[in-house]
Structure 1
Amino acid sequence: MDLFQIKKAPQVYDVCIVGSGAGGGMAAYQLSKAGAKVVLLEAGGYYDPADPKYITQLKWPYESPRRGAGTTRAFGDFDAAWGGWQIEGEPYTAAQGTEFHWFRSRMLGGRTNHWGRISLRFGPDDFKRRSMTGIGEDWPIGYDDVSPYYDKVDRLIGVFGSKEGLRNEPDGVFLPAPKPRLHELMIRKAGRGIGIPVIPSRLSILTKPINKDRGQCFYCSQCGRGCSAYADFSSSSVLVKPALQSGNVTLITNAMAREVLTDANTGLTTGVSYVDTESLQEKTVQAKVVVLAASTCETARLLLNSKSSRFPNGLANSSGVIGKYLNDSTGASRSAFIPTLMDRKRYNEDGVGGMHVFTPWWLDNKKLDFPRGYHIEYSGGMGMPGYGFMGGVAGLNGMIPGRDGKKRPAGGYGAAMKDDIRRYYGAFIGMAGRGEPVPLESNYCEIDPNNVDKYGIPTLRFNYKWSEAEVKQAKHMQDTFEEIIHAMGGIALGNKPGPENNYGLEAPGRIIHEVGTARMGSNPKNSALNSFQQAHDVKNLFVVDAAAFPSQGDKNVTWTILACSMRTSDYLIDQVKQKNI
């Protein structure tokens, strides 16, 4: 019998990463490959789209337990999104007269499990907007700094596309792009006829195998459900899984980070305090380096909540910019009925889980009345009909052309309704603009002094308003949509949005592309991070999600998160070798 009980010293990891999405997953992959001992904290549960208990692919809509009467998930019962804009027990607020919608995904891999896989590089101009226009802020890095990492991400993860030679829409290392479907061929013809480019999409979906661990797309068009063949990119299956297989990563799920811990004397990070969301116990992990990748707003919340006598305004916040310059992509949309697509023969037109073609920004903003551009995403075709399929016909004011050519009320019951559904199936298209806003200091998130979540962690309060620049951009989107619809011989559904509703501009946060709350820069007085996303104030603290980005770009940000996280990880490895950290 032992007379003395010896208490083991707690493990000190080389790196603690908070968040397992694009930035956190890439950091875990790169650092573990280099031999670092990593602890990966994820606020949600474990998820593997190939595990039978999680698979929702290839299920019919009627297999939903609610049979269309509602959903427990933001994008449908079968979507791989555990979370949403509202999560029970995790509130947030907005200041009076402002609006922001904050989407959170509580699962391994985060929002990479259910995104559109639109994988666009930022172009040379996207890094230097202030120099070019006098509006916004330049990045402290340029395209040439990130380009080699884009190439590495392309090869590691896989992205299809085509070489187009567009200066600010850089080409990548592409897999073959899938062929356009009928409605996309019509969109392409119409667009090109009026001077609007329509080119093959660039999505991180494998149109051919790239390694033995991942399969090839089988064109079920259900990427949002998570791919059981790992043919599309999600951090959980493509980055975290091989990182775990290295033996160098300890994954802790259901770990809601509360605070980044620091040494009172040196100011360096020492680890992270988190709440076990199942037991509600507070726990800590110790690490020599902390890497934050919790998502733009969650990372800001964590830094602002990490106060001490040395950091009274929050960790790494001597500049006062943590939480500020928050911006989300703009968004506006329109749908249309295309008569020439009626009465089609049925065939499988599923394709990949998303668009096969898109429109990159094609105009010169110097000749327009708004300073930033947008791209256009297209939808349509004979995909699996969901509940409310005939709802689109209502946009024709209830009157549709019958078989005799005369207009009559749509739908009804029984045989007449079935006949309408068959005739109009595949005859609708949609288009959505996704654009770049102007980052403003007045758009920010802060700690709400009056609220905590169910774990006792102070929550966020948002202050966000679109500027005139974004409203004018939305008007241009709507004008462009109508041009394309008219060129296709289509009928736009519903009334064209006008100034009374900002031309259909989506509310801030609804596009789920938020960036900027801990922006990088060359000057520590107006930025939180340096060019390698290392905190100016704390040399062993890094941020590898989109909180680090000074601006949005007119592209989706995931590919840039991945490339910059890989770049930061390589820099961290080098700094450790040089004993600077």
Structure 2
Amino acid sequence: MAEFQIKKSPKVYDVCIVGSGAGGGMAAYILSKAGLKIALLEAGPMFDPADPKIRTQLKWPYESPRRGAGTTRPFGDFDAAWGGWQIDGEPYTHKNGTEFDWFRSRMIGGRTNHWGRISLRFGPRDFKHKDVDGLGENWPIGYEDVAPYYDKVDKLIGVFGTREGIENEPDGHFLPPPKPRLHELMMKRGAEKVGVKVIHSRLSMLTRPINDRKSCFYCSQCNRSCQIYADFSSSSVLVKPALKTGNVDVFTNAMAREVLTDRNGQATGVSYVHKDDMQEYEVRAKTVVLAASACESARLLLNSKSAQHPNGLANSSNVVGKYLHDSTGASRGAILPQLFGRKRYNEDGVGGMHLYTPWWLDNKKLDFPRGYHIEYGGGMGMPGYGFGFGMENMNGRFPARDGKKKEAGGYGASLKDDYRYFYGAGFGMAGRGECIAREDNYCEIDPNVVDKYGIPVLRFNYTWSDHEIKQAKHMQDTFEEIIHAMGGIPTGTKPGPESKYGLEAPGRIIHEVGTVRMGDDPKRSAVNKFNQAHDCKNLFVVDGGPFVSQADKNPTWTILALSWRASENMIDQLKKGNI
């Protein structure tokens, strides 16, 4: 029988990066600009939203094979996320009744191709929250350490917003924000009636051209990834210019299996299975950077066992996979009768909210710690097949066009007339909040299950605590207050304790972080304050894994800033011969 052969690359790269999303894309950009030779491994194919063969921006719903119903993909046929919570041949498992949904996006740029692009800085309190409420742990760094890199990210990528002077919502270098739409103005008025602050959103979409990228033309389809690169996607804004340096070789459809190490326990490269021929390959490198996402990087480390690292690479502390946490999420929809029957005009705007609410309350006066922000949606976006306007919950509860009470719907001309009448009157709110990181929320290697590439899969253990459930209740109470202050009518039944007040299952908000925890103490953390592994000096992790806590903000801007910071430190250490 012929001996199995692993195909080894003859080239030795300066750096091998696993993952091309926010963290990996930024590392590739900074390191390639410094002249380092990079191998960039991505588990999916190439992606360029400007490529006419794959471009979906500006297509009509009826151009979908399923007429826009989105029955086979989580966010619809035209969404730019190639992946989902379930991927054929790539399972994950659960224990103890856990509900955790793990989203993967297999493509150059990863999940940055379809995200909401809410680009918020963590504030001073977010890095040291244990000092405020005694829960969780403080980061080993503070806002002052990350602020210069937030500034650099703002200027490189672009983010719109307004300077508000809110202590824990740091201002940045902002482009002009788009004007609020009618439903947003009405929501702002209702929110402020009940003491809820509303300000301009901070989204990474260009309202002015910068760095050879054009400004947004307000088609409201940013989730499809922008063909003129007016929104931020790692594929467009970071990987594309990194490739132009000539210093980056991209290995697509490369499913990373483990980080390889030598007899001294130092990283020597990465082993991967190529999806096209199902053969195993090895890429050799002097330094390895993991940016595959918090859970995928933890999986790689736990699968990278050796005599020097019997518990998994960078895991002498036994914390890899632990302290997993996702943002909390709950939402509510409503109808605003004032908007029935209004004239038609283009109010698309950017693909997301023009206004939002940052956390506005003092937790000392509440029964839960930390906070949440509120995202607002609604208006006259393009209708899609299979998506109603809340009419099923509204029968007999509003005036018809002739001023009389009537049932909505029917069929034929009557149904079309009703849809036109109610179109644009629906709106909604979603809360996104902070979960306390806990050691007993974790992912680990399932000893009995492998994926179709023969790689052991993750098994999740996760529960929401009373802190998160009480936070979701507060969200629902606030939504109800705002809806009534606007004169709106809630759709459906207000979620109660039986559903944890509508609290989404963990993983559903796709903000999972914390599995490769950062810290000064090697016995209680996996990486140091520069994202460098305590146990392996030429290994770095630059995705959400090193997060000590999440904050009530989306994590992407902080991933980008920390990856830039880690990359500069890596360059400095390489110059000094320390790695």
Please state which band the TM-score falls in when normalised by the shorter chain.
over 0.9
1:388, CA displacement in angstroms?
A: 3.1
1:68, CA displacement in angstroms?
A: 4.1
1:245 and 2:226 correspond: no
1:72, CA displacement in angstroms?
A: 2.7
What residue identity is the alignment partner of 1:578?
Answer: K
Q: Is the CA contact (8 Å cut-off) linking 1:397 and 1:494 kept in structure 2? A: no
The residue that corresponds to 1:127 in the other structure is: 127
What residue identity is the alignment partner of 1:240?
Answer: V
1:564 and 2:556 correspond: no
The residue that corresponds to 1:388 in the other structure is: 386
Give the TM-score normalised by the residue count of structure 1: 0.97
1:217 and 2:213 correspond: no
In 2 relative to 1, CA 405–549 (structure 1 residues): closer, same or farther, beyond 3 Å?
Answer: same
2:304 and 2:501 map into 1 onto residues whose CA distance is: 40
The residue that corresponds to 1:439 in the other structure is: 437
The residue that corresponds to 1:340 in the other structure is: 338
The residue that corresponds to 1:254 in the other structure is: 253
What residue identity is the alignment partner of 1:120?
Answer: L
What residue identity is the alignment partner of 2:33?
Answer: K
**How many residues end up aligned between the 2 structures?**
573
Paired residues for 1:184-199 under 5 Å: 184-199=184-199
The residue that corresponds to 1:453 in the other structure is: 451
The residue that corresponds to 1:305 in the other structure is: 303
1:398, CA displacement in angstroms?
A: 6.4
Q: Is the CA contact (8 Å cut-off) linking 1:270 and 1:286 kept in structure 2? A: yes
The residue that corresponds to 1:321 in the other structure is: 319
1:60 and 1:292 map into 2 onto residues whose CA distance is: 38
The residue that corresponds to 1:501 in the other structure is: 499
1:22 and 2:22 correspond: yes
1:62 and 2:65 correspond: no
Q: CA RMSD in A?
A: 1.2
Percent identity of paired positions between Structure 1 and Structure 2: 74
1:367 and 1:434 map into 2 onto residues whose CA distance is: 20
2:413 and 2:233 map into 1 onto residues whose CA distance is: 43
Q: Is the CA contact (8 Å cut-off) linking 1:399 and 1:410 kept in structure 2? A: no
Paired residues for 1:83-94 under 5 Å: 83-94=83-94
Say which is worse superposed, 117-126 or 400-409, in terms of deviation: 400-409
1:421 and 2:415 correspond: no
1:128 and 1:167 map into 2 onto residues whose CA distance is: 14
What residue identity is the alignment partner of 1:246?
Answer: T
Deviations 1:507-544 (A, max 9, x none): 01000000000010111111001000100000000000
Deviations 1:149-169 (A, max 9, x none): 000000000000000000000
What residue identity is the alignment partner of 1:181?
Answer: R
The residue that corresponds to 2:278 in the other structure is: 280
1:110 and 2:110 correspond: yes
1:263 and 2:262 correspond: yes
Q: Is the CA contact (8 Å cut-off) linking 2:256 and 2:270 kept in structure 1? A: yes
What residue identity is the alignment partner of 2:518?
Answer: M
Q: Is the CA contact (8 Å cut-off) linking 2:531 and 2:566 kept in structure 1? A: yes
2:403 and 2:315 map into 1 onto residues whose CA distance is: 67
Q: Is the CA contact (8 Å cut-off) linking 2:9 and 2:281 kept in structure 1? A: no
1:31, CA displacement in angstroms?
A: 0.2
What residue identity is the alignment partner of 2:117?
Answer: R
1:491 and 1:349 map into 2 onto residues whose CA distance is: 23
1:372, CA displacement in angstroms?
A: 1.1
2:110 and 2:405 map into 1 onto residues whose CA distance is: 48
The residue that corresponds to 1:541 in the other structure is: 539
The residue that corresponds to 2:78 in the other structure is: 78
1:400, CA displacement in angstroms?
A: 4.0
2:61 and 2:8 map into 1 onto residues whose CA distance is: 53
Deviations 1:237-278 (A, max 9, x none): 1000000000000111000000000002x1100000000011
SS at match of 2:125: helix
1:229 and 2:228 correspond: yes
The residue that corresponds to 2:4 in the other structure is: none
The residue that corresponds to 2:3 in the other structure is: none
2:8 and 2:44 map into 1 onto residues whose CA distance is: 29
1:458, CA displacement in angstroms?
A: 0.2
Q: Is the CA contact (8 Å cut-off) linking 1:400 and 1:410 kept in structure 2? A: no
1:69, CA displacement in angstroms?
A: 4.8
2:43 and 2:379 map into 1 onto residues whose CA distance is: 37
What residue identity is the alignment partner of 1:274?
Answer: Y
1:206 and 2:235 correspond: no
Query: Tell me, which stretches of 5 or more residues in structure 1 are unaligned?
Result: 1-6
The residue that corresponds to 1:37 in the other structure is: 37
What residue identity is the alignment partner of 2:393?
Answer: G
2:309 and 2:205 map into 1 onto residues whose CA distance is: 43
Q: Is the CA contact (8 Å cut-off) linking 1:400 and 1:409 kept in structure 2? A: no
Deviations 1:115-143 (A, max 9, x none): 00000000000000111111011000000
1:579 and 1:195 map into 2 onto residues whose CA distance is: 56
The residue that corresponds to 2:162 in the other structure is: 162
In 2 relative to 1, CA 69–385 (structure 1 residues): closer, same or farther, beyond 3 Å?
Answer: closer
2:491 and 2:244 map into 1 onto residues whose CA distance is: 51
1:482 and 2:480 correspond: yes
2:40 and 2:68 map into 1 onto residues whose CA distance is: 37
1:534 and 1:370 map into 2 onto residues whose CA distance is: 34
Q: Is the CA contact (8 Å cut-off) linking 1:324 and 1:441 kept in structure 2? A: yes
What residue identity is the alignment partner of 1:473?
Answer: Q
1:399, CA displacement in angstroms?
A: 4.8
SS at match of 1:10: strand
1:407 and 2:422 correspond: no
2:244 and 2:45 map into 1 onto residues whose CA distance is: 18
Aligned counterpart in structure 2 of residue 370 of structure 1, from 368, 372, 393 = 368
Deviations 1:366-422 (A, max 9, x none): 111001100000100111011234351112256542123333221110111111111
The residue that corresponds to 1:3 in the other structure is: none
SS at match of 1:401: coil
SS at match of 1:390: coil
Query: Tell me, which stretches of 5 or more residues in structure 2 are unaligned?
Result: 1-6
Q: Is the CA contact (8 Å cut-off) linking 1:390 and 1:411 kept in structure 2? A: no
1:194, CA displacement in angstroms?
A: 1.8
Q: Is the CA contact (8 Å cut-off) linking 2:46 and 2:252 kept in structure 1? A: yes
SS at match of 2:513: coil
Q: Is the CA contact (8 Å cut-off) linking 2:9 and 2:282 kept in structure 1? A: no
The residue that corresponds to 2:519 in the other structure is: 521
Q: Is the CA contact (8 Å cut-off) linking 1:83 and 1:106 kept in structure 2? A: yes
What residue identity is the alignment partner of 1:392?
Answer: G
In 2 relative to 1, CA 133–9 (structure 1 residues): closer, same or farther, beyond 3 Å?
Answer: closer
2:410 and 2:480 map into 1 onto residues whose CA distance is: 29
1:378 and 1:148 map into 2 onto residues whose CA distance is: 30
In 2 relative to 1, CA 397–365 (structure 1 residues): closer, same or farther, beyond 3 Å?
Answer: farther
Deviations 1:188-207 (A, max 9, x none): 11122221111000000000
Q: Is the CA contact (8 Å cut-off) linking 2:8 and 2:281 kept in structure 1? A: no
